[in-house]
Amino acid sequence: MTLVRRVAMKISGGVVRYASPGCKEWAKGLAREVEFIEGNWAALRWAMGSARVLFDRRGAPMTSLADVAARGQRFSESISKGSYSTFCLLGLPYFLTLLYARSWQERIGCGLVIVTSICLGIVGLLQQRKRQALRDTVGDLTLYCKLELERKRDFLRTGIGRSFFFVLVLYFIGLAFAQKGGARAHPFLTVLCMLICVLVALFLLRQPRQFQRQIDEVDVILKETR
C-alpha cells in the first residue's frame, strides 16, 4: 500500500471515529468506498471530501419509545444545567475596555458586545423558563420530547428567535471592532470573527431541519406503537 493510500485510509478512519452517533453509518459507508477507488490520489480526494460528515452533528437515531423517553429525560435534565448568565458575563471585559477605548471604532465595538451580551442572556433566560414551564405541564417524557423538539424547531421562526439571530451577528461584528485600534488594525482577528459568525449562522439555520428529522422519527415510533 502506497503512502498516499495509507493517508487516505487514516483520514477515513478518523472521520468514522469522530463522526456524530447519527452519522456513523454514513461515515463507515464512505470509508468502505475508499478501499475500492482506483487511483491513490482519487482515494485521497474522496477521503478528504468525506470529512464533511464531521460537520453534521446528529444524535443517535431514535428507534423505540425507550429512546424517545431517554431523549426527553436528557432534555429535562439539561434545563437546570443551562446557565445563560454566562452570555452577560461575556460583555464584562469589554465594559472595562470601553473605559480606556481611544477610537470611535473601539467604543462602538465594545458597546455592541456589551449590549448584545445582555440581550443574548435575556433571550436565553426566557427560553429556559419556557422549557421549564413546558416540562412542568407535561408529565409524559415521550410527549415532552416531541413538544420540546417542536419548540426548538420553531424557535428561529418566531420574533424572539429572529431577534436572537440578528443580535448574535451584531455580537461578532462588535468583537471585530472592539479590538485595540479597530477592525483594520487586526485583519486576521477580524476575518476570524466574521468566519465564526458565518459558521454559527449556518449551524443555527440548519437546526430546524435537524429537529424536524427527529420529530419525524418520534412520529414513526408513536404510529408503530398505537
The per-residue pLDDT for 149 is: 92
Cell of 210: 435537524
What per-residue confidence (pLDDT) applies to 14? 85
Q: Are residues 176 and 107 both part of a single domain?
A: yes
* CA torsion through residues 37, 38, 42, 47, sign: positive
68 confidence band (pLDDT: 50, 70, 90): confident
164: its cell numbers? 436572537
Complete DSSP assignment for 69-126: HHHHHHHHHHHHH--THHHHHTTHHHHHHHHT--SHHHHHHHHHHHHHHHHHHHHHHH
pLDDT over 70 percentage in the chain: 94
The mean per-residue pLDDT over the stretch 7-28 comes to 82
pLDDT mean over 25-38: 81
Residue 85: the pLDDT is: 63
- Please name which of 110, 121, 115 lies closest in space to residue 86, comparing C-alpha atoms: 121
pLDDT at 185 > cutoff 80? no
Predicted pLDDT of residue 80: 65
Over 70: is that where the pLDDT of 82 sits?
A: no
CA distance 93 to 111: 11
Q: Is residue 60 part of a domain?
A: no
Q: Are residues 43 and 75 in the same domain?
A: no
Q: What is the pLDDT of residues 129-182, one digit of tens each?
A: 888 888 888 878 888 999 999 999 998 888 888 888 889 889 998 888 888 777
Domain count, the chain: 2
Please tell me whether residues 83 and 122 are part of one structural domain.
Answer: yes
Q: Is residue 193 part of a domain?
A: yes
Residue 99 pLDDT greater than 80, yes or no: no
Domain boundary among 17, 32, 55: 55
Mean pLDDT value across residues 107-125: 88
Q: 202 and 170 in one domain?
A: yes
Confidence of residue 84 (pLDDT cuts 50, 70, 90): low
Output the pLDDT for position 122. 87
Tally DSSP H helices, then E strands, for the chain.
10, 0
Residues 197 and 167 in one domain: yes
Asked if the structure places residue 221 within a domain, the reply is yes
Where in the sequence is the domain holding 103, given as residue range(s)?
65-225
Choice among 20-34, 162-176, 205-219 with the minimum mean pLDDT: 20-34
Hey, how many other C-beta atoms are within 10 angstroms of the C-beta on 225? 10
User: What dihedral do alpha carbons 149, 155, 158, 162 form, nearest 10°?
Assistant: -160
Residue 1 has pLDDT above 70, yes or no: no
- State mean pLDDT over 190-208: 85
CA 154/CA 211 separation, integer angstroms: 9
Q: Are 205 and 100 members of one domain?
A: yes
56-75 average pLDDT score: 80
